[in-house]
Amino acid sequence: MILLAIVLALAPQDEAAAKSALEAYKTATAKSKDPKVHVDAVNELAKTLHNSVAEKLGSLLTTDDKDVHIAAAAGLGTFNKPPELKVSAAKHLTQALTAGANLKLVEVRIAIFQALGVLQEESSVNAVKSHFEDKDSKIAAAAVSAAGNMKSKSMVEPLIQVLRECERTLNGGALPAPLPVKGGKPPPAPAPQKDMDKEKKDHASAVIGPAGAALATLTGQNLKTADEYEKWWIKNRSTFTPK
């Protein structure tokens, strides 16, 4: 009974605090078009953890100036309690990844991935994972880094696969040396294999470091290759719990 009374007493205060924060944001931004003023107002608004504030920050992820998008993403990354609010914040962030102008705003999408990494909400795992193979290496690297920070067991195998694909791309292309023919003329050397697409190599070079770092963060291991992580995972997956 005492706990219920406390909850009921706090609820109106939380609602009042959220309403006050939203009014303060509206006042601060009403007469100014200066992006810095708007960013400062967003940062102040994000200090009030409430669903109505999360909804406002969610709307700011796709409107206003680019720097406001980034500030709103960072703000939502702090909405980690209660669990329902955390889920709501993650939903706003993941929806904004592919919404409107954000598709062309790499900095904003990176900020969203950073926020998702901080938030560590399990319901956003698939949205993050779906960007591991993004054509933009900056986006792919940001998604991979976020996966490591999210501390989700379900990310271990996909990250090992990312690391393996990067290794294959960077190390592939060499043909085995021809075997000598007994008593005969040595076979001609194979024609040089056409160099792998430079764009793929550049992409792999940009992602392989974040993939290794993400696995180290997630697993607590300091291994070097996908094979090493695979062997470790086979032995430990049944008992592994991210810390």
Confidence of residue 31 (pLDDT cuts 50, 70, 90): confident
Within a domain: 159: yes
Are residues 142 and 54 part of one domain?
no
Within a domain: 34: yes
Are residues 139 and 72 part of one domain?
no
Res. 154: pLDDT tops 80: yes
* Beta strands per DSSP E along 55-210: none
Confidence of residue 127 (pLDDT cuts 50, 70, 90): very high
The structural domain count of the chain equals 2
Once rounded to an integer, what is the mean pLDDT over residues 3-26? 70
Within a domain: 4: no
Domain span holding position 167: 135-171+196-243
Res. 58: pLDDT tops 60: yes
Q: How far is CA 21 from CA 13, 31, 42, 107, in A?
A: 12, 17, 10, 27
pLDDT given for residue 50 in this prediction: 96
pLDDT given for residue 107 in this prediction: 97
Within a domain: 212: yes
Within a domain: 209: yes
Q: Token pair of 8, please?
A: 């009921």
Amino acid sitting at position 48 = T
Within a domain: 5: no
Are residues 156 and 56 part of one domain?
no
Close Cβ partners of 135 (under 8 Å, ≥ 6 residues apart): 203
**If you count them, how many residues does the chain have?**
243
pLDDT given for residue 63 in this prediction: 85
Q: 243, 115, 215, 106: which is closest to 157 by C-alpha?
A: 215
Q: 112, 111, 113, 106: which is closest to 143 by C-alpha?
A: 113
Within a domain: 101: yes
Close Cβ partners of 121 (under 8 Å, ≥ 6 residues apart): 86, 87, 89, 90, 150
Are residues 112 and 19 part of one domain?
yes
Mean pLDDT, all residues of the chain? 88
Are residues 39 and 119 part of one domain?
yes
Confidence of residue 184 (pLDDT cuts 50, 70, 90): low
Are residues 123 and 143 part of one domain?
no
Report pLDDT digits (tens) over 33-52.
899 999 999 999 999 999 99
Give the DSSP H/E element, type plus range, for residue 51.
Answer: helix 51-60
Q: Structure pTM?
A: 0.84
Are residues 64 and 21 part of one domain?
yes
Once rounded to an integer, what is the mean pLDDT over residues 57-76? 94
Are residues 88 and 149 part of one domain?
no
Confidence of residue 174 (pLDDT cuts 50, 70, 90): very low
Are residues 107 and 81 part of one domain?
yes
Are residues 107 and 61 part of one domain?
yes
pLDDT given for residue 172 in this prediction: 73
Q: How far is CA 218 from the centre of its chain?
A: 13
Q: Which of 109, 130, 151 is where one domain is finished?
A: 130
The structure tokens 């993403």 sit at 73
Res. 5: pLDDT tops 70: no
Are residues 140 and 61 part of one domain?
no
Are residues 220 and 163 part of one domain?
yes
Q: Which of 97, 114, 130 is where one domain is finished?
A: 130
Within a domain: 180: no
